[in-house]
Structure 1
């Protein structure tokens, strides 16, 4: 009986630990990192608390109450700040100056509002490389601005899936969009800036909908699923919203490849033409001496002088001289 009681206590502690360490967003550690926390409703803000969770202990970093002086923990003084435009606009994102490894951990952003009460977002800061490096794309989906985009997780047929989680993967952070666990009957409420639709049922467990897609929705989306047998599958799709600015990233490589291909073909044609012309120039000097010799031989012959044959040379040649009368010289 005592052993059973101890086991229940351990399970209770494990459950509490999992609840404490669950996160909505993972952020890459950097010196000037920003932890996003934006309340989506238009309720009246009564208080905001930023805390760091270390095991079972919590350290209050900032407590903000409208119209009152803001409290900042001395260890975080001059190291964290809110943007001036954020205060009073339900955007209480926390920016860090000169963050270090000591700032790795889980943070909680807690809104006290009226009349809906508490709203909390948990952010995990990790020391990692770009998150996109580990998320290679399996395919892509193209859509136009304003459309409702449905992302489907491509899994093997008749796979006994019981849990699916959708995430948006950016170089510096990962945001959970939707999560459903059929075995436990739990569904995650997204704290992501954009509203997404999803249903926690066997029929629609593998899909998530992004309504009224915008250019900022372009990027990598990852689906992580787990079967009742314990097997796990990951599917990553790149969403492309085809407006002018976003489409450049995909049109330019294609156009650049086409231009490069044309340039290579042009260079090959020029090389072939040049080689042919060079061969002709090499052959021409060899023919010129023969032509010149024939021309010289032809030019040496007078057009009025006949060409003598061998028989003609044997004939006698007669020359006629005029005869003059001989007179005696006069004597004086």
Structure 2
């Protein structure tokens, strides 16, 4: 099995051309997590991670549905999977990192029946800097995030790039471009399944993210590129868990109300039983007072003997 896996990695180590668009950019830390999560319905057959080293891809690890998992010797002991088996979360974590870990990483997913998908992740040493948002929006969790970015400068816009800044990383959302050959729209790996960007007018961009989760909050930035000037607009999006809080509050109120009802019902039942018991005791006492037998004096009139005496008064 190791021979098969080794031949497989020799097949993927090849000269490549780096794409201009990177799905996620991370800052180098002592421990970094390379996110690769798939939200589709297809079956994940295999996942493998590589790192671009100048002219070829260095194998890091792989998980196969039938052959199991494999970790390269260079990453043994400081790399771990988010989950042990194939699932929707295919992320890996690198510990004890150094400047040698700066570079471009690839997450390849082999899906059935669609084929292979790829996510590009860049690790850099420089900070992203401080970004001041133009506005703030507070939305509810599981609702749709709808953001509108309007270009206010003069000139024609050629291309637009939307990104999200959160938790020390940059996620590529979408890229719109108009050229002589027509328009082009590209979505980031984590946004292709549930996002929509209207690119008909590059001066007026609308971004919609359906069923937003807490992990979708952050600073959304739209960068307009024109022939003369560029403009960047940033919106800070905060998501509230009002739905969950409301449900919890409702459940708590229902529980308290039910407890109060049970207590009242128990007290009322006890009082009713007590009242009925007292009435039965009083009724028994009354019956005893009326039904009690007392000793009767027998007067025998048939056998009674009468005694007569002659009494002579003494004058």
Q: TM-score normalized by structure 1?
A: 0.62
Q: For 1:244-295, what per-residue CA distance to the aligned partner results, in whole angstroms no more than 9, with x for missing partners?
A: 5999xxxxxxxxxxxxxxxxxxxxxxxxxxxxxxxxxxxxxxxxxxxxxxxx
Shift of 1:219: 1.9
Shift of 1:158: 5.1
Alpha-carbon distance in 2 for matches of 1:165, 1:246: 33
Evaluate the alpha carbon distance shift between residue 145 and residue 91 of structure 1 in structure 2; reply closer, same or farther with a 3 A threshold.
closer
Unmatched tracts of structure 2, length 5 or more: 1-15, 246-315
1:36–1:94 contact (8 Å) kept in structure 2: yes
Q: Does 1:181 align with 2:177?
A: yes
Specify the structure having the higher radius of gyration (Cα): 1
Alpha-carbon distance in 2 for matches of 1:177, 1:95: 23
Secondary structure of 1:55's partner? coil
1:180–1:186 contact (8 Å) kept in structure 2: yes
2:140–2:242 contact (8 Å) kept in structure 1: no
Partner residue of 1:170 out of 163, 166, 170 = 166
Q: For 1:161-198, what per-residue CA distance to the aligned partner results, in whole angstroms no more than 9, with x for missing partners?
A: 12111111013111011111112632212212672211
1:164–1:181 contact (8 Å) kept in structure 2: yes
Shift of 1:153: 1.6
1:215–1:246 contact (8 Å) kept in structure 2: no
Aligned residue-pair number: 227
Match of 2:300 in 1: none
Q: TM-score normalized by structure 2?
A: 0.65
Secondary structure of 2:41's partner? coil
Shift of 1:235: 1.0
Match of 2:273 in 1: none
Alpha-carbon RMSD = 2.6
Alpha-carbon distance in 1 for matches of 2:18, 2:176: 16
Q: Does 1:70 align with 2:69?
A: yes
1:51–1:61 contact (8 Å) kept in structure 2: yes
Shift of 1:67: 3.0
Q: Does 1:196 align with 2:195?
A: yes
Match of 1:236 in 2: 234
Match of 1:260 in 2: none
Unmatched tracts of structure 1, length 5 or more: 1-15, 248-332
Alpha-carbon distance in 2 for matches of 1:213, 1:82: 26
Evaluate the alpha carbon distance shift between residue 116 and residue 74 of structure 1 in structure 2; reply closer, same or farther with a 3 A threshold.
same
Shift of 1:202: 1.9
Match of 2:104 in 1: 106
1:198–1:204 contact (8 Å) kept in structure 2: no
1:163–1:226 contact (8 Å) kept in structure 2: yes
1:82–1:93 contact (8 Å) kept in structure 2: yes
Q: For 1:145-164, what per-residue CA distance to the aligned partner results, in whole angstroms no more than 9, with x for missing partners?
A: 34322111232155411211
Secondary structure of 1:151's partner? strand
Alpha-carbon distance in 2 for matches of 1:191, 1:202: 23
1:135–1:222 contact (8 Å) kept in structure 2: no
Secondary structure of 1:75's partner? helix
Alpha-carbon distance in 2 for matches of 1:148, 1:245: 14
Match of 2:139 in 1: 143
Alpha-carbon distance in 1 for matches of 2:17, 2:68: 33
Shift of 1:203: 6.3
Match of 1:42 in 2: 41
Evaluate the alpha carbon distance shift between residue 77 and residue 230 of structure 1 in structure 2; reply closer, same or farther with a 3 A threshold.
farther
Partner residue of 2:123 out of 122, 125, 135 = 125
